[in-house]
Structure 1
Amino acid sequence: MTTLHIILISLFTTGITATPYCDQQLKQLRVAANNLKQKCTVNTTTISTCCDLNAFYFFTKPSGVYQMDCWCGGKWNIANVFCDTTTANGGWTVIQRRKDGSENFNRPWADYEKGFGDLRGEFWYGLKAMNCLTQTGQWELRVDIEFPGNKTRSYLHYNVFRVGSASEEYPLTIGGFTGITPTDPFSAKVHNGQKFSTYDNDNDKHGNNCAVQVGNAKDNGGWWYKDCWNINLNLQYNPKEYGSLLLGGTWYNPRWIEMKIRPLSCIPQ
């Protein structure tokens, strides 16, 4: 047993009264101590979610692009991901970002399935990858939103987030709403349980294809439509005629959006 290991173990076996900051540091040390006990290192242990970054470093790693392995379909799938290491204690895998309208989100099924865009800019991470990540364990979703003329960001938070398989048309399971917005735009009656739709694969409950055109809304991007949406974060960037987010009876068009997910067990206890 190493000297560092002994010191770390002693920290957790003696009574310590800690400030919130110190408490968070102790949580990270607890994970590090476990890794030492298991002889784990960054090079020998699979990084399967952005949470794992917290398990190998005493100090917060910067948000950015990292390589991640995910076991899915009977094999390891290696891909780059954008990890948010700072928001609400970090550990988030970013699965979508809109910020300047530079990326076209009016795309076919195949693009939404495999993902598209720039991880450092605007992108959609891909339905296949979302299913791969969320098929085991419990996952939460956070949507950070910035509205035009307001630099203070709002957020939606859900304790339940899962994307189903390709054979099921990637249905959405979402619930446990919290956040600083007054209402739940995903709503169990609107988007929960809905299959994904694109302009070339219509799975919604509307008479028309919600991804194509509904009234003045057209070229709407792929989404978990029902009849058609209370929230559509893949809608045209800042359209003038219609809104992408219904809150308290008012439609809004955020100018900055990030969807991010992490396991509920992410933060060490």
Structure 2
Amino acid sequence: MFSIDTKSSWILIMFILVWDYSESQLSFQQEERSSELSILCRYADEASPVISHLVISRIKAGRRHIQASVSADCNQNSPLSRVSDAKVTGHLSYNEPTSRYIRIVWTDLQLDLDGDYTCEAYGVDADLIPQTFIQHLNVKSRQNGLRLVATPDVIKVGLTKQLQICCTLPDHGVLNITRMASLEIFKQQNGVKCRFARIKMESGEAILSGAVKTSLNGTMDDNQTSLELIWGNITAADAGDFTCEGSGVNAKGHPVFFNKYINVTWANPDREELTNLLFDLYDKESESLRLQEEKKKKLRATTKIIDSLKSTECRKPNSCDTSIFESGQRIVSLEPDDGLGPITVVCEGKEPGEMWTVIQKRFNGSVDFYRNFSQYENGFGSLDGEFWLGLKNIRRLLLQNEDKNRLRIEITEMTSGNNFTKNYHRFSLGPANGYKLNVIGFDDLGYGMSFNSGYSFSTPDSGVPRLAVLNRAGWWFNYESPFVNLNGVWGVKGKRYSIYWSEFRRDRNVILEKTEMKFRRNFNK
């Protein structure tokens, strides 16, 4: 038995109440009118914690895709949008805690907007301890009753036997249609929009027009319309972008047009799937002599799939050094020998035999670098803009080079345009429990990266959160005042959380406009 004194009990109760109260103040809701759909995330608590970011994301295939965000930083309080077909508004300020929200508004209700969304609020409490709150929302648009479904939506080459594309308008009245005119299914092939099937009101008969090895079913009456395509002998070529388009007339005699889009992808079966199929064939082999020959044929077919995967596998380069040389920067897909899958990177060719892998790039402040550990581990941003490659990806590529790499830092000042470059002849990262930094080989007098060498990576939720919050960045922070922070807030001068490199200018009022971190194999070590 044990006991808790009265003071400790009150502290525990107060902590629980504050946590639940803060959590309840984050609201996330769907709003729908006749011509638009919007989702609104609002944090209503005016007291602690201090909220620095609100982020709306969409969950698709188990992955989180950021749609929009707003930050309380003085130069970033306008919302950032990653959705080109919607309007994003929002406001977040340390000085105005009563108005903290972000909203996305869509006016094109034919888009595929249904699905799961999240809103996350990041901040710190009075003790500078990071706090994260999250709300989930399942969006269902009532405006577009058109349904387009692919079964399956991922073709497993050699295993998928049938593909079904079904387009249905179960209730014409949802779209205010009094008389249907047509319903058509298209596929995008080699950049050309090809019609596969259609059904028209005049005949009421479904007609195949461009699809091969396909069966067709279709119906059209006063209340509902459907069109269904079924493929057999499926290959990777059957994957692609499908569109269902329809037209009709409303009660006033005006035309009504509507459409729906779906993407069918393909993938090679993994070895577990193939192995499971083999075991299944063996288990059923004893059922009857009549099925024995058929099962042997399936076994041979499965073995042939495995052999074809081995023989036709097109290996990507495993590092920028083994890719084709081109001067300048370009996006390349690499596949290290560790078997963990490909990594898309930016390779930079300075001269033949000198290929660099870019791991960090900043130049305009379009990407917020105040992120949690998961985002810094997996990477964020866009390779054709600002980005962080991800600690996990960086370490995989460093190990591909037998952990013999050199680091190069390139920096440009905003006002003067002066350029600075630093090279470290040894660069490596430790295991995933901290990705400890190791840089050796340049005398920076302790005011450069050497000051950070030997320290683990810190973010607002990992490592030394206090330093990450104070510097508003993820970095290999020394427990003392850092002399380098290339992931700080872009365009801000004179602040602890500015982007700076103390060795070049021991004055944080000098704004660093451009930074690039890159590495390449150290062939001399």
* Common fold by TM > 0.5: yes
Q: Aligned partners of 2:501 and 2:468: how far apart in 1?
A: 15
2:438 touches 2:453 (CA, 8 Å); kept in 1? yes
2:457 touches 2:475 (CA, 8 Å); kept in 1? yes
In the other structure, the counterpart of 2:487 is 234
Question: Post-superposition shift, 1:164?
Answer: 1.1
- The one-letter code of the counterpart of 1:105 is F
- The one-letter code of the counterpart of 1:254 is L
Matched, 1:253 2:511: yes
Matched, 1:151 2:403: no
- The one-letter code of the counterpart of 2:417 is K
Matched, 1:138 2:438: no
- 1:209-224 superposed matches below 5 A: 209-213=466-470, 218=471, 220-224=472-476
In the other structure, the counterpart of 2:15 is none
- 1:158-173 superposed matches below 5 A: 158-167=424-433, 169-173=434-438
Q: How many residues align?
A: 204
Q: Secondary structure, in 3 states, of the residue corresponding to 1:70?
A: coil
Matched, 1:185 2:447: yes
* Larger strand share, 1 or 2: 2
1:71 touches 1:132 (CA, 8 Å); kept in 2? no
Matched, 1:118 2:374: no
Residue segments in structure 1 that go unaligned for 5+ positions in a row: 1-42
Question: Post-superposition shift, 1:234?
Answer: 0.3
- 1:199-218 superposed matches below 5 A: 199-203=460-464, 209-213=466-470, 218=471
Deviations 1:20-44, CA, capped at 9 Å, x for gaps:
xxxxxxxxxxxxxxxxxxxxxxx96
- 1:41-190 superposed matches below 5 A: 46-53=316-323, 56=324, 60-72=326-338, 75-86=339-350, 90-135=354-399, 136-167=402-433, 169-177=434-442, 183=445, 185-188=447-450, 190=451
Q: Aligned partners of 2:517 and 2:360: how far apart in 1?
A: 5
Q: Aligned partners of 2:441 and 2:397: how far apart in 1?
A: 19
- The one-letter code of the counterpart of 2:468 is A
In the other structure, the counterpart of 1:35 is none
2:335 touches 2:343 (CA, 8 Å); kept in 1? yes
2:415 touches 2:511 (CA, 8 Å); kept in 1? no
RMSD of aligned alpha carbons: 2.4
> Which structure has more RCO (C-alpha within 8 Å, separation ≥ 6)?
1
2:327 touches 2:351 (CA, 8 Å); kept in 1? no
Q: Aligned partners of 2:504 and 2:411: how far apart in 1?
A: 16
Q: Secondary structure, in 3 states, of the residue corresponding to 1:174?
A: strand
Using the size of structure 2 for normalisation, the TM-score is 0.36
Shift in alpha-carbon separation, 1:87–1:228, aligned structure 2, 3 A: farther
Q: Aligned partners of 2:386 and 2:380: how far apart in 1?
A: 9
Shift in alpha-carbon separation, 1:69–1:185, aligned structure 2, 3 A: farther
Residue segments in structure 2 that go unaligned for 5+ positions in a row: 1-312
* Larger helix share, 1 or 2: 1
Using the size of structure 1 for normalisation, the TM-score is 0.69
Deviations 1:27-77, CA, capped at 9 Å, x for gaps:
xxxxxxxxxxxxxxxx96641111112xx56xx3552101101133xx242
In the other structure, the counterpart of 2:148 is none
Whose radius of gyration is greater, 1 or 2?
2
